[in-house]
């Protein structure tokens, strides 16, 4: 194979090794293995109709050419997206750093202390700025955060309110249009009545359970909602506030006027606009809501030796545990972007953030003064960064528009002809003069050059913040770049990522995120574009997205794709809403039952509940396959109300069920639709596809199959692909025409997390049709190679008809526990001593580990992993046979820190060598867990989810 082919960089094993592995499996070719694994009746007859793979160099030129078709103007549109300066130290050491972007969601706390600390910083910053008691580690975007706030208020209603079915939420008409649209989408299926009005006219009576307002509002006006909040509380009505995080450094935070929930976007804390995303939303509330709070909360706890240790708190709130009782489906979120925003706060500190906010306000005030002097009327009586002008009678809006475009600037244009400007931290003196020039020329007035901007503040004193924030040490320590880079590195060194070793997480597909795929992320031509600019400024984006949609349609066999959903679970929700709308369009809106196999991921039932569906769980048989007869019975029983069936393929049990086409036929024959969860699409690409198996809609986890990195828990991208009869229902957008006219928006941005799409685009373009198929085949080979090596000691829970697993397998651990008392959790922690991240723990079957190696892992790495698990198996045998103590053994005490093994005292019945160097190669490349086993229960009992206050350091 030519050495410049990307496929040979993406795929781990060399040709020679592939042959060796096939020999071990007793087959002579890859084709033979695949035909033993993938049922013949679903195999594709023809190769994918995609171009041949490009070399990395060719792709680089191609993406560069596309980037140059995007025009980066100075954009003053605002509306939730602002230009920002990403400190280079954060760009280089976080966004561009594979340790940060290839790590996984911090479920395994001991090897995630660095990113847990970064997220705790984010939470602390959010709590302080909003004035709230607690905050989570981030949500998908501002609009979906608004929907989460609405649903959390709904689920937290007093018993009396719930009994009386108080179902009205009042929303101020001056929230962002995209926020309103997503609220409409989410309210409808749940039976929540959304009333939109001027907040002064809210009827706060017994029917209402919540209000949502924006601060400053969508015009830019700062409004005093304290009286509204007081009245609402008197009627047991919650108050949720969409806020601008930066403004809260100088404005009275909503927590100080007793708001219940404060949410918004943290984008302008150093995260590029990226044509709409990804950015982390923030979400803060009173402590009262802690058990209902969506998303992940990082909390402080202690390890086995009493040392401070961080971990994800209150995990019983999460959708995968609550299943059909779930109130939110958030799984993958925006961790990498939360980290960036948190680091921005660390680097600037409270005084830096305040300075930035003050400067923005001064420039805005100056512009108000100058533009008003030209005859325009500014309409906001008090504002932070946004002003709105009524034009003099002789000035035409069109003139402003073309004059501003001439100078490469975008302003906001209201429907009534007024013009808005939102200033950001990048705005400088030149920009100020250009803005004034446009307004002056349009009014035919002379104008003088501004040479400085005075420190003026037009905000009325009653709105000004008087309290301190971010006083904790971490926000006051790292001002020089040298100190900052060392802090980032200090955290980084605590974590395991793909740069250390394979991350064998079943269902998560931790494959290579190639550097060439990642490079364009840092380019201003992708990062510097506001999502609401005229489309002709984003030609490169649109060309790429069109091609990407076409390619993904080809790969799935479907007719069209929506790029809007920004996580897998968001895709599930979008797909189910599309199905719902399809039934409604056929006057069958009563179809609301969804059949979900017991092996499904927790987000499936959670998304179904959010889409207003009734979940009916169907069983699997003893071989792990969906029980066809049981499904048939349920489909028959619910034939009049059957909406759809959600199925993951290959199954979460790691098997290609040959009954899949029959299952789909059963559903269709009873009037239902088939939703395919695309988490395992990496075992389908080029071999079969969702259309071929009989599905109608699927989501794709671009952050699994299509090389977008996991980022420590996001970004995720979850586009949906649909069959022709569903295209007309794909989600639209209230501000931009995104080419679809179906349901209202499911995410804030018209094309979701557009700025990470070049990663997937690059992945497809560089692998091409052959490479994509090869990736699926090697994923299957690698999994079967591991399964073969471990089948005799652990045992593989489920296999297909020919004894093969798909791209992942479930390792049985329950017999080991019965014999030795060693649990799957102990095995997971002991793997850390061997330098590995644990496989997926107890999903989808309790007491097991699910392993997915991916195609990117080499034979050497697979062998290392097999060695580690074999070593652990031998240790378990030693415990079972009494050679090792039942309690004092390296498994129960894992992971071992350097502190513990270098202490003067060593009171264990096994050696220090056994503890930390159980295999020879560890001496050459040792990862040291920074904390010992973390005590989850302690942290949940004593919930602390912010950094310690400054006093604790004195
Ligand atoms: C089978 C399956 N479905 C759905 C999801 C949810 O995807 P996301 O985390 O992107 O929301 C996952 C996530 O791990 C999964 O494994």
> Quick check: CB of 508 below 6 Å from ligand 1?
yes
User: Which of 678-692, 695-709, 935-949 shows the lowest per-residue confidence on average (mean pLDDT)?
Assistant: 935-949
**What pLDDT sits at residue 947?**
87
Residue with tokens 């008691």: 133
**What pLDDT sits at residue 953?**
44
d(CA 604, CA 621) in angstroms, rounded, equals 20
Count Cβ atoms within 10 A of the Cβ of residue 425 and give its class: 0-12 exposed, 13-18 middle, 19 or more buried: buried
- Measured in Å, residue 846 CA sits from the centre of ligand 1 at 18
Which is the closest atom of ligand 1 to the Cα of 571?
11
Find, among 880, 903, 889, the residue nearest to 830 by Cα: 889
- Measured in Å, residue 318 CA sits from the centre of ligand 1 at 13
pLDDT of 18 above 90: yes
The percentage of residues in the chain with a pLDDT greater than 90, rounded to a whole number, is 95
Q: Kindly report the number of other CB atoms within 10 A of residue 14's CB atom.
A: 13
> Quick check: CB of 335 below 6 Å from ligand 1?
no
> Quick check: CB of 331 below 6 Å from ligand 1?
yes
d(CA 81, CA 424) in angstroms, rounded, equals 10
**What pLDDT sits at residue 4?**
84
Over residues 81-109, the pLDDT tens digits come to: 999 999 999 999 999 999 999 999 999 99
User: Which of 570-579, 669-678, 850-859, 930-939 shows the lowest per-residue confidence on average (mean pLDDT)?
Assistant: 930-939
**What pLDDT sits at residue 242?**
99
For atom 10 of ligand 1, which residue has the closest CA?
568
- Measured in Å, residue 608 CA sits from the centre of ligand 1 at 14
E-strand stretches of 286-403: 297-303, 308-313, 377-378, 386-390
Q: Kindly report the number of other CB atoms within 10 A of residue 305's CB atom.
A: 13
Over residues 647-674, the pLDDT tens digits come to: 999 999 999 999 999 999 999 999 999 9
772, 555 contact by CB (below 8 A): yes
**What pLDDT sits at residue 950?**
57
Residues β-bridged to residue 135: 284
Pocket test for ligand 1, best of 332, 599, 647, 715 (most atoms within 8 A of CB): 332
Would you call 424 helix, strand, or coil by DSSP?
A: coil
For atom 7 of ligand 1, which residue has the closest CA?
568
- Measured in Å, residue 600 CA sits from the centre of ligand 1 at 10
- Measured in Å, residue 539 CA sits from the centre of ligand 1 at 32
Pocket test for ligand 1, best of 334, 504, 568 (most atoms within 8 A of CB): 568
Over residues 451-499, the pLDDT tens digits come to: 998 889 999 999 999 999 999 999 999 999 999 999 999 999 999 999 9
68, 494 contact by CB (below 8 A): no
d(CA 511, CA 502) in angstroms, rounded, equals 9
Q: Kindly report the number of other CB atoms within 10 A of residue 396's CB atom.
A: 12
pLDDT of 954 above 70: no
DSSP state of 665: H
Tokens encoding 62? 């191609």
d(CA 213, CA 171) in angstroms, rounded, equals 6
Tokens encoding 536? 């002709």
648, 843 contact by CB (below 8 A): no
| Rounded to 5°, angle at Cα 662 from 661 and 665 | 90
The contacts of residue 942 (CB under 8 Å, 6+ apart) are 301
d(CA 776, CA 774) in angstroms, rounded, equals 5
The contacts of residue 411 (CB under 8 Å, 6+ apart) are 76, 77, 400, 401, 404, 419, 420, 421, 438
- Measured in Å, residue 311 CA sits from the centre of ligand 1 at 21
d(CA 725, CA 559) in angstroms, rounded, equals 9
Pocket test for ligand 1, best of 328, 331, 575 (most atoms within 8 A of CB): 331
Count Cβ atoms within 10 A of the Cβ of residue 940 and give its class: 0-12 exposed, 13-18 middle, 19 or more buried: middle
> Quick check: CB of 105 below 6 Å from ligand 1?
no
- Measured in Å, residue 508 CA sits from the centre of ligand 1 at 7
**What pLDDT sits at residue 812?**
97
Which is the closest atom of ligand 1 to the Cα of 703?
10
d(CA 532, CA 704) in angstroms, rounded, equals 28
> Quick check: CB of 334 below 6 Å from ligand 1?
no
For residues 782-793, b (16+ Cβ closer than 10 Å) or e, as one string? bbbbbbbbbbeb
Pocket test for ligand 1, best of 678, 679, 684, 715 (most atoms within 8 A of CB): 679
Would you call 626 helix, strand, or coil by DSSP?
A: strand
Q: For the chain, what is the largest distance between any 2 Cα atoms, rounded to a whole number of angstroms?
A: 94
Over residues 159-193, the pLDDT tens digits come to: 999 999 999 999 999 999 999 999 999 999 999 99
> Quick check: CB of 683 below 6 Å from ligand 1?
no
Q: Kindly report the number of other CB atoms within 10 A of residue 70's CB atom.
A: 23
DSSP state of 609: H
Mean pLDDT for the chain?
96
Count Cβ atoms within 10 A of the Cβ of residue 207 and give its class: 0-12 exposed, 13-18 middle, 19 or more buried: middle
Tokens encoding 225? 């909602």
740, 730 contact by CB (below 8 A): yes
Which is the closest atom of ligand 1 to the Cα of 680?
1
The percentage of residues in the chain with a pLDDT greater than 70, rounded to a whole number, is 99
Over residues 638-649, the pLDDT tens digits come to: 999 999 999 999
The contacts of residue 686 (CB under 8 Å, 6+ apart) are 44, 47, 48, 555, 769, 772, 773, 774, 775, 776, 777
**What pLDDT sits at residue 447?**
94
Query: Residue 580 half-sphere exposure, CB side, CA atoms within 13 Å?
Result: 25
- Measured in Å, residue 719 CA sits from the centre of ligand 1 at 13
pLDDT of 318 above 80: no
- Measured in Å, residue 570 CA sits from the centre of ligand 1 at 10
895, 932 contact by CB (below 8 A): yes
> What pTM did the predictor assign?
0.98
Which is the closest atom of ligand 1 to the Cα of 570?
11
For residues 239-263, b (16+ Cβ closer than 10 Å) or e, as one string? bbbbbbbbbbbbbbbbbbbebbbbb
Which is the closest atom of ligand 1 to the Cα of 568?
10
Over residues 387-428, the pLDDT tens digits come to: 999 999 999 999 999 999 999 999 999 999 999 999 999 999
Find, among 888, 881, 108, 933, the residue nearest to 873 by Cα: 881
- Measured in Å, residue 602 CA sits from the centre of ligand 1 at 8
Of residues 946 and 32, the one with the higher pLDDT is: 32
User: Which of 139-153, 217-231, 308-322, 511-525 shows the lowest per-residue confidence on average (mean pLDDT)?
Assistant: 308-322
Q: Kindly report the number of other CB atoms within 10 A of residue 42's CB atom.
A: 19
pLDDT of 430 above 80: yes
Tokens encoding 45? 């007859």
804, 784 contact by CB (below 8 A): yes
- Measured in Å, residue 601 CA sits from the centre of ligand 1 at 7
Beta strand 419-422 pairing with 412-413:
antiparallel
**What pLDDT sits at residue 324?**
73
**What pLDDT sits at residue 2?**
61
Of residues 807 and 1, the one with the higher pLDDT is: 807
> Quick check: CB of 276 below 6 Å from ligand 1?
no
Find, among 12, 57, 44, the residue nearest to 504 by Cα: 12
Over residues 885-909, the pLDDT tens digits come to: 999 999 999 999 999 999 999 999 9
Q: Kindly report the number of other CB atoms within 10 A of residue 25's CB atom.
A: 17
């Amino acid at each position: 194979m030519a050495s410049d082919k990307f496929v040979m960089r993406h795929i781990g094993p060399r040709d020679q090794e592939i042959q060796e592995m096939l020999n071990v499996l007793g087959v002579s070719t890859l084709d033979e293995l695949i035909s033993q694994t993938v049922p013949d009746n679903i195999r594709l007859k023809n190769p994918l109709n995609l171009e041949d793979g490009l070399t990395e160099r060719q792709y680089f030129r191609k993406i560069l050419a596309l980037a140059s078709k995007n025009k980066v103007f100075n954009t003053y549109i605002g509306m939730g997206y602002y230009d920002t300066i990403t400190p280079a130290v954060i760009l280089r050491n976080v966004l561009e750093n594979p340790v940060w972007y290839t790590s996984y969601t911090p479920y395994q706390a001991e090897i995630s202390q660095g990113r847990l600390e970064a997220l705790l910083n984010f939470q602390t910053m959010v709590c302080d700025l909003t004035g709230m008691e607690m905050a989570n580690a981030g949500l998908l975007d501002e609009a979906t955060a608004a929907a989460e706030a609405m649903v959390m208020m709904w689920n937290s209603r007093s018993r009396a309110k719930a009994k009386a079915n108080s179902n009205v939420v009042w929303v101020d008409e001056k929230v962002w249009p995209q926020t309103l649209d997503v609220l409409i989408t989410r309210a409808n299926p749940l039976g929540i009545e959304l009333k939109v009005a001027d907040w002064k006219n809210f009827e706060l009576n017994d029917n209402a359970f919540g209000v949502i307002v924006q601060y400053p509002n969508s015009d830019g006006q700062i409004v005093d909602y304290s009286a509204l909040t007081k009245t609402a509380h008197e009627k047991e009505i919650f108050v949720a506030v969409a806020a601008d995080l930066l403004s809260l450094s100088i404005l009275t935070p909503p927590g100080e006027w007793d708001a219940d929930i404060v949410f918004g976007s943290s984008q302008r804390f150093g995260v590029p606009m990226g044509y709409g995303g990804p950015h982390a939303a923030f979400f803060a509330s009173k402590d009262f809501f802690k058990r209902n709070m969506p998303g992940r909360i990082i909390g402080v706890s202690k390890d086995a030796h009493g040392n401070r240790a961080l971990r994800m708190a209150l995990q019983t709130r999460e959708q995968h545990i609550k299943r059909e009782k779930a109130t939110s489906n958030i799984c993958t979120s925006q961790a990498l972007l939360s980290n960036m925003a948190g680091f921005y706060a660390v680097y600037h500190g409270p005084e830096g953030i305040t300075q930035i906010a003050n400067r923005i306000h001064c420039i805005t005030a100056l512009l108000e003064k100058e533009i008003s002097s030209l005859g325009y009327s500014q309409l906001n009586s008090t504002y932070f960064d946004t002003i709105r002008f009524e034009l003099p009678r002789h000035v035409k809006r069109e003139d402003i528009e073309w004059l501003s475009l001439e100078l490469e600037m975008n302003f906001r244009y209201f429907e009534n002809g007024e013009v808005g400007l939102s200033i950001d931290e990048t705005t400088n003196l030149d920009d100020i003069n250009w803005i004034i020039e446009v307004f002056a020329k349009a009014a035919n007035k002379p104008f003088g050059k501004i040479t400085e901007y005075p420190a003026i503040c037009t905000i009325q004193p009653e709105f000004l913040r008087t309290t301190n924030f971010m006083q904790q040490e971490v926000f006051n320590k790292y001002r020089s770049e040298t100190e900052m880079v060392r802090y980032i590195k200090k955290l980084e060194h605590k974590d395991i990522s793909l740069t250390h070793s394979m991350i064998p997480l079943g269902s998560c597909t931790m494959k290579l995120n190639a550097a060439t795929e990642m490079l364009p992320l840092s380019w201003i031509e992708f990062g510097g574009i506001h999502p609401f600019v005229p489309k002709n400024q984003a030609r490169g984006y649109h060309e790429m997205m069109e091609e990407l949609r076409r390619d993904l349609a080809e790969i799935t066999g479907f007719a069209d794709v929506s790029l809007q959903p920004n996580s897998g679970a968001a895709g599930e929700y979008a797909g189910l809403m599309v199905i719902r709308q399809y039934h409604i369009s056929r006057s069958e809106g009563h179809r609301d039952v969804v059949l979900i196999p017991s092996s499904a991921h927790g987000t499936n039932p959670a998304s179904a509940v959010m889409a207003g569906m009734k979940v009916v769980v169907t069983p699997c048989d003893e071989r792990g396959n969906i029980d066809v007869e049981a499904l048939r019975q349920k489909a028959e029983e619910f034939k009049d109300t059957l909406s759809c069936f959600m199925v993951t393929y290959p199954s979460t049990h790691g098997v290609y069920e040959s009954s899949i086409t029959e299952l789909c036929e059963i559903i269709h024959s009873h009037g239902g639709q088939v939703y395919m969860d695309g988490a395992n699409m990496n075992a389908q690409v080029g071999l079969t596809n969702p259309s071929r198996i009989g599905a109608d809609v699927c989501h794709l986890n671009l952050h699994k199959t299509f090389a977008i990195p996991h980022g420590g828990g996001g970004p995720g991208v979850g586009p949906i692909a649909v069959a022709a009869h569903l295209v007309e229902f794909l989600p639209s957008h209230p501000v931009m025409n995104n080419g679809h006219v179906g349901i209202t928006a499911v995410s804030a941005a018209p094309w979701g997390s557009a700025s990470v799409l070049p990663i997937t685009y690059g992945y497809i373009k560089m692998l091409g049709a052959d490479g994509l198929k090869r990736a699926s085949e090697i994923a299957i080979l690698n999994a079967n190679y591991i399964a073969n090596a471990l089948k005799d000691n652990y045992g593989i829970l489920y296999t297909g008809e020919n004894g093969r697993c798909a791209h992942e397998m479930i390792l049985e651990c329950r017999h080991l526990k019965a014999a030795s008392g060693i649990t799957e959790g102990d095995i997971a922690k002991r793997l850390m001593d061997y330098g590995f991240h644990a496989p997926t723990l107890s999903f989808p079957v309790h007491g097991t580990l699910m392993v997915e190696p991916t195609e990117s892992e080499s034979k050497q790495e697979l062998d290392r992993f097999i060695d580690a698990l074999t070593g652990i198996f031998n240790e378990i045998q030693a415990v079972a046979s009494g050679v090792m103590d039942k309690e004092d053994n390296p498994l129960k005490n894992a992971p071992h820190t350097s502190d513990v093994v270098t202490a003067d005292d060593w009171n264990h019945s096994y050696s220090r060598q056994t503890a930390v160097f159980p295999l020879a190669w560890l001496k050459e490349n040792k990862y040291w867990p920074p904390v010992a086993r973390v005590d989850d229960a302690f942290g949940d009992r004593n919930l602390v989810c912010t950094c310690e206050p400054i006093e604790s350091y004195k």
